[in-house]
Amino acid sequence: MLRTQKLGEADRIITMLTRGNGRVRAVAKGVRRTTSKFGSRLEPFTYVDLQIAEGRSLDIVTQAETLAPYGAKLGSDYEKYTAGTVMLETAERLVVEDKEPALQQFLLLVGALRTLSAGERNPSQVLDSFLLRSLSVAGYAPSFEACAQCGLEGPHRAFNPAAGGMLCGGCRMPGSASPAVETVTLLGALLAGDWAVVEASEPRHRKEANGLVAAYLAWHMERGLKSMAHVER
């Protein structure tokens, strides 16, 4: 479940990411009544097995079985909850079309929510790793080794979100950041899911990586939305 919105007296519109059909929106009837059979199963973060019937305008949820109630585990921990919320929003926005299969995004999201709720890894690093991988699946893979512009092998010193990652001396653009070498190594490990390297990193490099991931995400999300507006026109 990604998001729910109220509809009428007792219904909700549920936005979800599914294994086989990508992003789907459906109506869950009567779920805001206390007597509802599956109201609590249709909350954000919950991983459910759903049955959906085709409706006239929107599809209708007819059955829901909880597979993993991640929301219950995340709701009691502010840091995990906020990291999870960013994951859901990112997944919803990076899957551009309803009902277009998005299996990789689905698997990434479920895996990240499972890791987050297990509590064995730092939430902000689980989030950064998810964001970099999710952006990659959406076609915005950052380059942390070779130059993002000309492909020259690294390591390089300049990072630019608009250019797609690290830039060599020749391609360096104004406004590029100059992260520490260790931060660039950490970013590569977050993207690859190399947790041994991630967990050996120092706090200052984690913090710098956080900022660069946020900048990279912001630039590509905004660009994604802009291009979507063009398509709809």
Edge-to-edge strand ranges of the sheet holding 46-53:
3-7, 11-18, 22-28, 59-69, 46-53
Least distance from C-beta 227 to Zn ion, angstroms? 25
Nearest distance from C-beta of residue 167 to Zn ion, angstroms: 6
Provide the minimum distance between the beta carbon of 145 and Zn ion in the complex, in angstroms, as a whole number. Answer: 12
- Residue 72 has which token pair? 């219950």
Options 97-105, 119-127, 130-138, 139-147: segment touching Zn ion (CB under 5 A) = 139-147
Residue spans of beta strands (DSSP E) within 19-164: 22-28, 46-53, 59-69, 158-160
Nearer of residues 127 and 168 to Zn ion, judged by Cβ: 168
Distance CA 117, CA 72 (A): 9
Smaller CB separation from Zn ion, 150 or 225: 150
In sequence order, what DSSP letters do the residues of 146-212 get, joined into one string?
A: S-TTT---S--SEEETTTTEEE-TTT--TT-B---HHHHHHHHHHHHT-HHHHHTS-HHHHHHHHHH
Question: How many residues of this chain bind Zn ion (CB under 5 A)?
Answer: 6
| Binding characters for Zn ion, 30-69, by CB under 5 A (x = yes) | ----------------------------------------
Residues 142 to 181: which contact Zn ion by CB under 5 A? 147, 149-150, 152, 168, 171
Q: Contact positions toward Zn ion, by CB under 5 A?
A: 147, 149-150, 152, 168, 171
